[in-house]
Amino acid sequence: MNYRPYNFWDRSNNDKEEDKQDNGEQSVILYVEDNPGNRILIQRILNAEGYSVIFAENAYQALTIAETETFNLILMDINLPDIDGYTLTARLRNYPRLQNVPIIALTANVMKGDRERSLEAGCDGYIQKPVDVDALPQQIEYYLQR
Ligand code: MN
């Protein structure tokens, strides 16, 4: 995979979108998030970038979806109403079909050690809330290409 720096200054030249259309693929992102406002915001950003989004509102739904749906990346909220995103990530990592799917922690937790904890749980990366809406597409693209 060739490294191509993202051009922050010229969004009119959206070559990523052309690439997705060229090979006929639309990446699907599973977004685990209990907050409806965050779901709407992130969906709007990702749809605009050509991604398809499926939601889980809690860990139970995420585990069910993980057994039935196909997706390319998981965005994982850490504070969930049933079990936390670290525990959920560790469980999802046990699914053989998910072992190569990037899981990105998405959390407002800023305490020291959160990054290490998410990596220990099996996350591939960490995006801090509030989400930088201009940077998110580039962050997603980065993890999809690894
Ligand atoms: Mn939450």
Query: Following DSSP, what letter does each residue of 4-24 receive, concatenated?
Result: ----TT-TTS-HHHHHHHHTT
pLDDT, one tens digit per residue, over 25-75 is: 789 999 999 999 999 999 999 999 999 999 999 999 999 999 999 999 999
- The whole-number pLDDT of residue 113 equals 81
CA of 106 to the centre of ligand 1 (A): 9
Domains, the chain, in order of start with CATH, read 26-144 (3.40.50.2300)
Map tokens 């050509």 to a residue. Answer: 50
CA of 146 to the centre of ligand 1 (A): 27
CA of 132 to the centre of ligand 1 (A): 17
Rounded to two decimals, what is the model's pTM? 0.82
CA of 126 to the centre of ligand 1 (A): 15
Round to whole Å and give the CA distance between 71 and 85.
18
**DSSP E strand boundaries for the chain:** 28-32, 52-56, 73-77, 103-107, 125-128
Q: Which of these, 107, 97, 25, lies nearest to 65 by C-alpha position? A: 97
CA of 138 to the centre of ligand 1 (A): 23
Region 103-109: mean pLDDT is 86
Lowest mean pLDDT among 58-62, 88-92, 113-117, 130-134: 113-117
The token pair at 15 is: 């070559």
